Structure 1
Amino acid sequence: MTEEELYITYKGVYIPKMLHPPESLKYYEEFTFRPDDTVIVTYPKSGTTWMQETTSMIQSGGDLTTGLATPTFERVPWLEMFNFFSLNMEERPSPRLMATHYHYDMMPASFLEVKPKVIHVVRNPRDVFTSSYHFCDTANFLVKTASTGEYLDKFLNGQVPFGSWFDHVKGWMNVMEQYPSMSISYEEMKTDLKDSVFRLSQFMGTSLSSEAIEKIANHCEFNNMKQNRMSNYSEAPSGILDPSSFHRKGICGDWKNLLTVAQAEHFDDVYKNQMKDVKYKFVWD
């Protein structure tokens, strides 16, 4: 199926029709935030589910009960997703956890006014591209990939769901000082998950014992999440995606197994041009 059949253009970017019906977008636009909400901000395939699960377990103080009983996407729902308006978010006690793939300039009025907490997760865009490339063939709401080169052109030009990685990351990085915020990379979490759990807990205002940090880090390890039905999308509505392939490799540097030397060089040229004015030091630079 084509982009015209599977996607709609919303605020300038493609979004999948199946996941974002009009009623969910209307609810999102009118949603009222609270100052102590925490919103996880990611470009797709940057470690969103990993961060949703990690922050949920931090908020529980290391009690894994809900992590083994309730799907991640219900505990930390996407603001713009079709199930958001059915979860009675207004009735949830503070502090609430939410996630979004939206660009900063797509956020609703209440978010801009209230200024809740923001956790911005970034990942090497070469690996984001690689993960997205493979994911497209497992998700029924996405256009299937053709050649690597064709998808690379679409990715670098922002002609993929949620638009340009460059615009998304730069847009959020430019406003982080305006919010109670924390930036963390996928690569940092892979390098030292326990330290990442500790830092996230400090930002969220949750005091954790060393035992709780150890327990959360173990629960959120890739292989454990892959086997957990609550975090591997086995509980997702049928027909949306193949849960068995949702967690694929969970590694850094897999782009080297996909891109040719020429494609990698082209990617780097575009990256350097797009990010030349960004002062933030990313771990992959």
Structure 2
Amino acid sequence: MTYPKCGTTWTQEVVWTMRNNPNLDHPKAGAPISARSPFIDSDMLMEMGKEKSKGLMFELLKDAVPDADPNEGIALQLTAHTPDPRTIKTHLPFSLMTPDLLDTAKVIYVARNPKDVVLSFLHHCRLIKTIGYVGSLDQYVDYFVNDLLIYGPYWEHLREAWPQRDHPNMHFLFYEDMKADPKAEMKKLDRFLGTNLTEEQLEKIAHYTSFEEMKKHEKEALQGKNMDTFLDQEVLKKDGGFYRKGQAGSWKDRLTDTDQSKIDIWTKENSLTLGISFKYSI
């Protein structure tokens, strides 16, 4: 669970691998991540629940449920038929999930410096054809700090999660910590998930889920061979794909002083009430 572009897909792959593929020999490890770990919001985002949608997700669902009705929600049905142990992805805040979520499931929440979030989200909205954002970076920053983007407001999303960080079924993870020392963070995840992995397994998973390794298999892991049909090829060639840079602090080279100031003021106004701070924030 997290606001978009905070490292959700990376964490999703890490967690699925730790729980289902600790020895890196699972026969379905090469399948798209959405098949192995359903993204329950995708019916809403991609209108996949419509009968006319016969894309990759629908084919995945038909493999799992031959008589499935796409009008009942492709991602939701795929989730219901995913074998245990299930790893489910969502960008929805706690207020839009079942009230007893933390009493019935383990939740991993990923947070990231908002300056990096806005740049990653901007790239995503330019790259995905169905979104097709064509405005400027300055305009996008304004949308972000004025809480006009989908899944926002960003701080309200955090405000619902941060106070619950000490719940025994809640694990709060910072993207910057995962980048700085992935193996150390995976050890924390190992304890939280109860996967009891060995040092060797953790070492191999850290390498397997590194940005460089995941980038090599981007197409297959995200949307299979059909991925290019979803992406703006000009943006892809100029600025990179879904896995763009995988860095912490890259905003320093992209945001103008004006945009940095806007986000700094907005961050201070909101973070003080939460008592939360981000690395590389100012």
TM-score (norm 2): 0.78
- Structure 1 residues 49-58 or 67-76, which shifts more? 67-76
1:84 aligned residue: 75
Structure 2 residue runs without a partner (length 5+): 44-73
SS in 2 for 1:97: coil
Whether 1:43 aligns to 2:10 is no
Which residue type is aligned with residue 176 of structure 2? Answer: E
Whether 1:65 aligns to 2:25 is yes
Give the drift of 1:237.
6.0
Structure 1 residue runs without a partner (length 5+): 1-40
Aligned partners of 1:232 and 1:247 also within 8 Å: no
Separation of aligned partners in 1, 2:86 and 2:222: 22
Give the drift of 1:91.
4.1
1:123 aligned residue: 112
2:156 aligned residue: 167
Separation of aligned partners in 2, 1:109 and 1:277: 24
Aligned partners of 1:43 and 1:122 also within 8 Å: yes
Separation of aligned partners in 2, 1:156 and 1:145: 18
- More strand per residue: 1
* CA shift digits 1:59-96 (9 cap, x unpaired): 02523234642211121111222241342x33444332
* CA shift digits 1:133-172 (9 cap, x unpaired): 1121110222414111111110111111212211111121
* CA shift digits 1:102-136 (9 cap, x unpaired): 11111135637x44111010111100001111121
Structural mapping, 1:132-281, within 5 Å:
132-178=121-167, 180-228=169-217, 229-235=219-225, 239-241=229-231, 245-281=241-277
SS in 2 for 1:155: helix
Structural mapping, 1:104-123, within 5 Å:
104-109=94-99, 111=101, 114-123=103-112
1:94 aligned residue: 84
In the alignment of these two chains, the number of paired residues is 243
Aligned partners of 2:21 and 2:29 also within 8 Å: no
Aligned partners of 1:61 and 1:208 also within 8 Å: no
1:30 aligned residue: none
Separation of aligned partners in 2, 1:61 and 1:239: 29
Give the drift of 1:54.
0.2
Aligned partners of 2:145 and 2:266 also within 8 Å: yes
SS in 2 for 1:184: strand
Separation of aligned partners in 1, 2:127 and 2:268: 31
CA 54–276 in structure 1, closer or farther in 2 if over 3 Å, else same = same
CA 280–101 in structure 1, closer or farther in 2 if over 3 Å, else same = same
CA 183–137 in structure 1, closer or farther in 2 if over 3 Å, else same = same
Separation of aligned partners in 2, 1:255 and 1:183: 23
Aligned partners of 1:120 and 1:181 also within 8 Å: yes
Separation of aligned partners in 2, 1:46 and 1:92: 25
SS in 1 for 2:127: coil
- Structure 1 residues 100-109 or 235-244, which shifts more? 235-244
SS in 1 for 2:120: helix
Separation of aligned partners in 1, 2:37 and 2:96: 20
* CA shift digits 1:205-264 (9 cap, x unpaired): 001111101110010010110111443444566633358611111111111122111210
The percent identity for this pair of structures is 30
CA RMSD of aligned residues (A): 2.2
